[in-house]
Amino acid sequence: MKIVIQTDGLTKQFGNFTAVDNISFKVQKGEIFGFLGANGAGKTTAMRMLCGLSLPTSGKGMVAGYDIEQEPEKVKRSIGYMSQKFSLYEDLKVWENIRLFAGIYGMKSKDIALKTDALLKQLGFESERDSYVKSLPLGWKQKLAFSVAIFHEPKIVFLDEPTGGVDPATRRQFWELIYEAADRGITVFVTTHYMDEAEYCDRVSIMVDGRIDALDTPKSLKNQFNANNMDEVFHQLARKAQRSDN
C-alpha cells in the first residue's frame, strides 16, 4: 500500500511547553485514521503541522509526497481541512461557500455549478441552496463543511473533531459521508472524543501528553489492553496523563 502521511520525530514546542513530542507514524492511502487523545494531548497541534498551518520545531513530516516544512503550499493543494471551529462564511449562502472554496482550488465556474447541484442533491440540501449558512442547524453546517473540504477531491482530508456537539443520529450520517469519501480513495485523518467513533476507524493512534502511546487497529488495541471496547482502552492510557487543559 502507498504511504500518504509519514512523520519522523515530529515535535512542536511553544516556549518550554512541548505540545507534540517526537511522534512518528505512517498512514496508508484510503485509510480512515483515528487520531485520539484527551483535551490538550496535542492532537490539533499535530494536525495543524500536517496541514502546513504550523511549522514543526524539529522532525520531519511528508504529506501527499511533499515535505510539510519545505513545501507547505504544495501540501495544501493536495489536502482538505475541516477545523474544530466551524469556519465557513456565515454571511454567504450555501452555494456561495462551495463556489468560493472550489474556486480557490482552481476549479472552473461551470464544473463548480454542476458539481454543486450533484452534491446538494446527494445531501438532500437542494432546498437550502440559497440559505445563508448562519441559518443552518449545526449538524447541517458540519456536513456542509465536510463536503466543502472534499469538494476539490483532495488526496487526504483532515477532520478536527468534526462531530463535536452534534446529536447521535447526525453523527451516524456524518460517518456515512466519511465512508463514502474513503471509498472514493480519499484518505481520512480524523480526531475525535467519541470512543464509539474510534471503532469505525481502520486504525487509531492514542496521544497522551504529546506522545503517541498506542497505534493499531481497534481490534488489536482491545486485545492488547484486555478491554471490551475502545472506551476502556482510552481510559487505561489517559489515566497516565500528567497534563490536561481543564
Partner 1 sequence: MLKFLLEKEFKQILRDSFLPRMIFVFPVVMMLLLPNAANMEVKDINVCIVDNDHSPSSERLIQKIGASPYFHITSTAPSYRQGMENIENETADVIVEIPVFFDKSLEKESAAKVFIASNAVNGTKGGLGSSYLSAVVADFSSEIRAERIQVVDHHSSPAITTATTYAFNQSLNFKRFMVPAIMVQLLTILCGFLPALNIVSEKEKGTIEQLNVTPIKKSTFILAKLIPFWTIGFIVLSICFLLGRYIYGIYPEGSLLTLYFFAGIFLLAISGMGLLISNSSSTLQQAMFVMFFFLVILILMSGLFTPVSSMPQWAQYITIFNPLKYFIEVMRMVYLKGSTIKDLTTQLYALLSFMIVLNGWAVMSYRKNS
**Chain positions contacting partner 1, by CB under 8 A:** 51-55, 72-74, 76-77, 79, 81, 83, 85-92, 96, 99-101, 103-106
Strands of 108-210, DSSP E: 156-160, 187-192, 203-208
Q: How far is CA 22 from the centre of its chain?
A: 20
| Min separation Cβ 161 and partner 1, Å | 13
Which residue number, 25 or 132, has a Cβ lying nearer to partner 1? 132
Q: Which of residues 80 and 218 has its CB atom nearest to partner 1 in the complex?
A: 80
Pairwise CA distance, residues 200 & 94, whole Å? 29
Name which of 102 and 233 has its Cβ closer to partner 1: 102
- Closest approach, Cβ 114 to partner 1, in A, equals 16
Shortest distance in whole angstroms from residue 231 CB to partner 1: 30
Least gap, CB of 125 to partner 1 (angstroms): 19
Sheet (strand 79-82) strand order: 79-82, 156-160, 187-192, 32-37, 203-208, 211-216
Q: Which residue has the cell 512518528?
A: 24
- 96 vs 202 by CB, closer to partner 1: 96
Beta strands in 54-186 (DSSP E): 58-63, 66-67, 79-82, 156-160
Cβ partners under 8 Å of residue 170, min gap 6: 139, 142, 143, 163
Give the residue with the Cβ less far from partner 1, 53 or 123. Answer: 53
Angstrom distance (rounded) from CA 122 to CA 107: 20
Please identify, using beta-carbon distances, which residue of 87 and 122 lies nearer to partner 1. 87
Pairing of β 203-208 and β 211-216: antiparallel
At closest approach, how far in Å is the CB of 128 from partner 1? 17
Provide, rounded to whole angstroms, the least separation between the CB of residue 83 and partner 1. 5
Q: Is 209 helix (H, G, I), strand (E, B) or coil?
A: coil
